Structure 1
Amino acid sequence: MHLFSIGINHHTAPIALRERVAFPLEQIRPALRTLEGAWQGRNGARCGAAHTAPTNERLAFGSDALSEAAILSTCNRTEIYCATDDGAAPDRAIAWLSAYHGIPADELAPHVYALPQSEAVRHAMRVASGLDSMVLGETQILGQMKEAVRTASEAGAMGSYLNQMFQRTFSVAKEVRGQTGIGAHSVSMAAAAVRLAQRIFDKISSQRVLFIGAGEMIELCATHFAAQAPRALVVANRTPQRGSMLAKRIGGQAITLAELPARLHEFDIVVSCTASSLPVIGLGAVERAIKARKHRPIFMLDLAVPRDIEHEVGQLGDVFLYTVDDLGSIVREGAAMRQAAVAQAEAIIETRVQGFMQWLEQRSVVPVIRHMRTQADALRRVELERAQKMLARGADPAAVLEALSQALTNKFIHGPTHALTHACGGDRDELVDLLSGFYRHSGSFGR
């Protein structure tokens, strides 16, 4: 069984490309169907055109071609984890990713990493532990990975190999956070957002802050900004009830997304992170807001992938627009203090990777052991039936048992004996050493 992962992340690709290969949560199930279909040859020709895997098509991940798969998609990465019998699978997966999103292969390929076997396992464990995040040690990625596994499982795309890998991955993440200082020394994305805003405005307490969205990232940012006691905190969300709940927790007010165009000019700081596949704030709306503000500056932070704010907004003279990538320099500060924790975490991960690979190697001999047991049982049944017939004819039970034991012994050692008598030279020596291990306790093959 071949394990591998492919993907792009904030280390290998800019946000402009990452947002093009991102999978909204509702697209992951149909995407898994077309991924499996690409191996089966059913959907490969059309999987990139319109994301149109039939919703009633039953997943068949139990096939020999593609056994298991999971898709992890966040603002910083899109990764596909697979278990397959196909040795050329990474190349096929990259081709599928290119076709699914309609991106030319030569444009995507330079940014994609393909990690086989232990490298894929090590990568998954580093990601879950927050070692591969833009914010070292952040915890949000672990929940996102668990959600990806849950979605793949509900889609019927998980099996024993990926299940075992991810369960061990989650256990490692817990161990790393419990035994190292990686979490204690992390700089959260939300804290970095406040620090970036303070570069534009000396006092957050004098500003009016708007949050667009009500997900986990916005909630974290809202908590950090609320600690600065700004003049106003307002939450705009597609679902009014959820927006109202967040606004109540931070002591702010809630508005609907429909109110944004008319009220955007009221805010000095705008932080946006929604799951929308299209921008929620366009260039025209910001131009009108700037005019109404008489060109007082606006700080805008777009943490969404795909982006919530049209990138042309950043070209306006009175707008300071930053994306999730722009926080990189902020969150990397203080990295030297975290290196001891990183080294400790890497050591834990390396030990767990080796443990998983040993399990994987053991799994590789399971079919052989199963076959051996089947063959041995077939031999046992034949001799048992013969012995029962002898007893039914009135034969001496002691003689029957002797004949049964001798027949079983002869048949069980026939294979090794035949191999020994026909082996020669170094092959014979190796075989003798191997069989000596099997029969060491009886002393039959002592040299």
Structure 2
Amino acid sequence: MSVLALGLNHATAPLDLRGRFAFSNEQLVPALQAFRERVQRAPEAALVSTCNRTELYVAGEPGDASALLTPAVDWLAEVGGVGSHTLRDHAYVLQGGAAARHAFRVASGLDSMVLGEPQILGQMKQAVREADTAGTLGTTLHQMFQRSFAVAKEVRTCTEIGAHSISMAAASVRLASQLFEDLRELKVLFVGAGEMIELVATHFAARTPRALAVANRTLERGEKLAVRFGAEALRLADLPQRLADFDVVVSCTASSLPIIGLGAVERALKARKHRPMFMVDLAVPRDIEPEVARLRDVYLYTVDDLSALVQIAGEKRQAAVEQAEAIIETGVQGFVHWLDQRGTVPLIQALNAQADDWRAGEIARARKLLAKGEDVEAVLDALSRGLTQKMLHGALAELHAADGEQRAQLAQTVSRLFLRGAARTPGDNQR
């Protein structure tokens, strides 16, 4: 089996293009089933989709993996509503060990916008669960992802990779503190109630702002998060009327279309008498219309805008990366070795089947001889000789048919296969 990875991320594609290929957790199972139906030659598939990346992993026979590339690109491009050539211009394609290495680096946080960020590991585990539910996971992808999770755990345990990162949440608070003198005087609105909003809310709540609020499409879920932080719970439908009340707005929902438009923000600024608003859009696709950034009194940041704040240089960071890469490389080599072994499974099955046929034939012959009253010892001796002759026949026939260098190489192979722990062949002794 071989693995193919097709993806685009924050390093290869702009935010708005990535937004076209974003899948919510609820969309992963039907998407994978649609891919399987469309590309029937793909026995295994998994989709990893986050705000920074969308990646399709496919496993198939070595020859099939390359042949699957074009239909995979066509399918993903169709899902995103772009031409295949556009997707290829912004995508990366990796195969075999390179695909596994990429998955291991992603799980370990080395391929993230935030070096060492821990969220991606949970997102990958969720992607694996969804692929399993869709019935598209399979042995090869299961093995690759489980090994990537083990490597990620070792990287976080044995290196300081996570100690030298600033999360998007922390970066948002840092930006807000640069714009406003005292965060304790601010009113902060969180739009959405997912894991990222929960993380951002935790960071802002630690700075004890004057008021917090959570707006969510499902009020019950929003209330649950609001209670945790002592915040007000709002319906998403009330957002346009309440937007002017807040100095800081952080949004991260799974909406496929913007939920905060230019007109709503303009009206909010007018009601605020043009007091500045700090807005962070962590969603992919966008939650806030990009035109909002052109308003004079709005400071709007997207996930891509935050990238400069979360890049930390230094010797400690580089040392941690090098140590993590070494751990990952060991894991990749182990997975590639496992893949190679998987390639011999059909041969092993065929050998076992042949041996069973020989055994069945000799036992049947022995039973006939015993039924005729033949001596038991003689029958057992004949059975053992018959089995060993059948086992050796092919190797001996090839040795007799070979000549020159071919015979010498074949003799070494036969010696390794049949004479382990026994005396070596004359050719071996001469070496």
Query: Do these two structures clear the TM 0.5 threshold for a shared fold by scoring above it?
Result: yes
The 8 Å contact of residues 436 and 446 in structure 1, kept in 2 or not, is answered as no
Question: Does residue 226 in structure 1 map to residue 205 in structure 2?
Answer: yes
Which residue number corresponds to residue 360 of structure 1? Answer: 339
User: What is the alpha-carbon distance in structure 2 between the residues aligned to residue 247 and residue 201 of structure 1?
Assistant: 24
- State the 4+ residue runs in structure 1 displaced beyond 6 angstroms: none
The 8 Å contact of residues 20 and 306 in structure 1, kept in 2 or not, is answered as yes
TM-score (norm 1): 0.92
SS for the counterpart of 2:58 is strand
Question: Does residue 39 in structure 1 map to residue 39 in structure 2?
Answer: yes
- Count of residues in Structure 1 that have an aligned counterpart in Structure 2: 423
State the 1:402 CA deviation: 2.1
The 8 Å contact of residues 129 and 177 in structure 1, kept in 2 or not, is answered as yes
Question: Does residue 84 in structure 1 map to residue 60 in structure 2?
Answer: yes
| Equivalence map 1:391-410=2 (5 Å) | 391-410=370-389
SS for the counterpart of 2:257 is coil
Which residue number corresponds to residue 331 of structure 1? Answer: 310
User: What is the alpha-carbon distance in structure 2 between the residues aligned to residue 150 and residue 431 of structure 1?
Assistant: 47
Which residue number corresponds to residue 420 of structure 2? Answer: 440
Aligned with 1:118 (options 75, 81, 97) = 97
SS for the counterpart of 1:199 is helix
Q: Identify which range, 217-226 or 433-442, moves more after superposition.
A: 433-442
SS for the counterpart of 2:296 is coil
State the 1:441 CA deviation: 2.5
The 8 Å contact of residues 281 and 288 in structure 2, kept in 1 or not, is answered as yes
User: What is the alpha-carbon distance in structure 2 between the residues aligned to residue 203 and residue 325 of structure 1?
Assistant: 26
The 8 Å contact of residues 440 and 446 in structure 1, kept in 2 or not, is answered as no
User: What is the alpha-carbon distance in structure 2 between the residues aligned to residue 367 and residue 446 of structure 1?
Assistant: 33
State the 1:242 CA deviation: 2.0
State the 1:335 CA deviation: 5.2
Which residue number corresponds to residue 26 of structure 2? Answer: 26
Question: Does residue 381 in structure 1 map to residue 360 in structure 2?
Answer: yes
| Equivalence map 1:297-336=2 (5 Å) | 297-334=276-313, 336=315
Q: Relative to structure 1, is the Cα distance of residues 336 and 231 closer, same or farther in structure 2, using a 3 angstrom cutoff?
A: farther
Q: Identify which range, 124-133 or 28-37, moves more after superposition.
A: 28-37
Q: Which runs of 5+ in 2 are unaligned?
A: none
Deviations 1:133-165 (A, max 9, x none): 111111111110000000000111111111111
State the 1:229 CA deviation: 1.8
Which residue number corresponds to residue 51 of structure 1? Answer: none
State the 1:334 CA deviation: 4.0
User: What is the alpha-carbon distance in structure 2 between the residues aligned to residue 426 and residue 93 of structure 1?
Assistant: 46
Deviations 1:355-413 (A, max 9, x none): 11111111111110110010011011111111110111111222222222222121111
Deviations 1:34-76 (A, max 9, x none): 2112223xxxxxxxxxxxxxxxxxxxxxxxx211111010000
User: What is the alpha-carbon distance in structure 2 between the residues aligned to residue 210 and residue 334 of structure 1?
Assistant: 32
State the 1:3 CA deviation: 0.8
State the 1:350 CA deviation: 0.7
Q: Identify which range, 131-140 or 198-207, moves more after superposition.
A: 198-207
Question: Does residue 139 in structure 1 map to residue 115 in structure 2?
Answer: no
State the 1:30 CA deviation: 1.5
The 8 Å contact of residues 29 and 152 in structure 1, kept in 2 or not, is answered as yes
Q: Relative to structure 1, is the Cα distance of residues 249 and 18 closer, same or farther in structure 2, using a 3 angstrom cutoff?
A: same
User: What is the alpha-carbon distance in structure 2 between the residues aligned to residue 130 and residue 359 of structure 1?
Assistant: 24
SS for the counterpart of 1:183 is helix
Q: Relative to structure 1, is the Cα distance of residues 412 and 221 closer, same or farther in structure 2, using a 3 angstrom cutoff?
A: same
Question: Does residue 160 in structure 1 map to residue 136 in structure 2?
Answer: no
User: What is the alpha-carbon distance in structure 1 between the residues aligned to residue 314 and residue 54 of structure 2?
Assistant: 25
Deviations 1:325-345 (A, max 9, x none): 001000003455411111111
Q: Which runs of 5+ in 1 are unaligned?
A: 41-64
User: What is the alpha-carbon distance in structure 2 between the residues aligned to residue 358 and residue 204 of structure 1?
Assistant: 54
SS for the counterpart of 1:66 is coil
User: What is the alpha-carbon distance in structure 2 between the residues aligned to residue 227 and residue 269 of structure 1?
Assistant: 15
The 8 Å contact of residues 39 and 72 in structure 2, kept in 1 or not, is answered as no
State the 1:126 CA deviation: 0.9
Question: Does residue 236 in structure 1 map to residue 215 in structure 2?
Answer: yes
Q: Report percent identity of matched pairs.
A: 58
User: What is the alpha-carbon distance in structure 1 between the residues aligned to residue 187 and residue 18 of structure 2?
Assistant: 31
Which residue number corresponds to residue 50 of structure 1? Answer: none
User: What is the alpha-carbon distance in structure 2 between the residues aligned to residue 380 and residue 269 of structure 1?
Assistant: 78
Instruction: State the AA in 1 paired with 2:20.
Output: R
| Equivalence map 1:404-443=2 (5 Å) | 404-438=383-417, 439-443=419-423
State the 1:100 CA deviation: 2.3
Structure with the larger helix share: 2
Which residue number corresponds to residue 54 of structure 1? Answer: none
User: What is the alpha-carbon distance in structure 2 between the residues aligned to residue 164 and residue 280 of structure 1?
Assistant: 40
Give the RMSD, CA atoms, in angstroms.
Answer: 1.4
User: What is the alpha-carbon distance in structure 2 between the residues aligned to residue 336 and residue 253 of structure 1?
Assistant: 44
The 8 Å contact of residues 165 and 312 in structure 2, kept in 1 or not, is answered as no
SS for the counterpart of 2:304 is helix
User: What is the alpha-carbon distance in structure 2 between the residues aligned to residue 251 and residue 125 of structure 1?
Assistant: 39
User: What is the alpha-carbon distance in structure 2 between the residues aligned to residue 354 and residue 326 of structure 1?
Assistant: 36
Question: Does residue 371 in structure 1 map to residue 350 in structure 2?
Answer: yes
Instruction: State the AA in 2 paired with 1:440.
Output: R
The 8 Å contact of residues 247 and 276 in structure 2, kept in 1 or not, is answered as yes
State the 1:444 CA deviation: 6.2
Which residue number corresponds to residue 174 of structure 2? Answer: 195
Q: Identify which range, 149-158 or 203-212, moves more after superposition.
A: 203-212
Q: Relative to structure 1, is the Cα distance of residues 294 and 115 closer, same or farther in structure 2, using a 3 angstrom cutoff?
A: same
Instruction: State the AA in 2 paired with 1:201.
Output: F
State the 1:203 CA deviation: 2.2
User: What is the alpha-carbon distance in structure 2 between the residues aligned to residue 179 and residue 146 of structure 1?
Assistant: 21
Which residue number corresponds to residue 16 of structure 2? Answer: 16
User: What is the alpha-carbon distance in structure 2 between the residues aligned to residue 223 and residue 259 of structure 1?
Assistant: 24
Instruction: State the AA in 2 paired with 1:34.
Output: A
Question: Does residue 5 in structure 1 map to residue 10 in structure 2?
Answer: no
Q: Relative to structure 1, is the Cα distance of residues 250 and 423 closer, same or farther in structure 2, using a 3 angstrom cutoff?
A: same
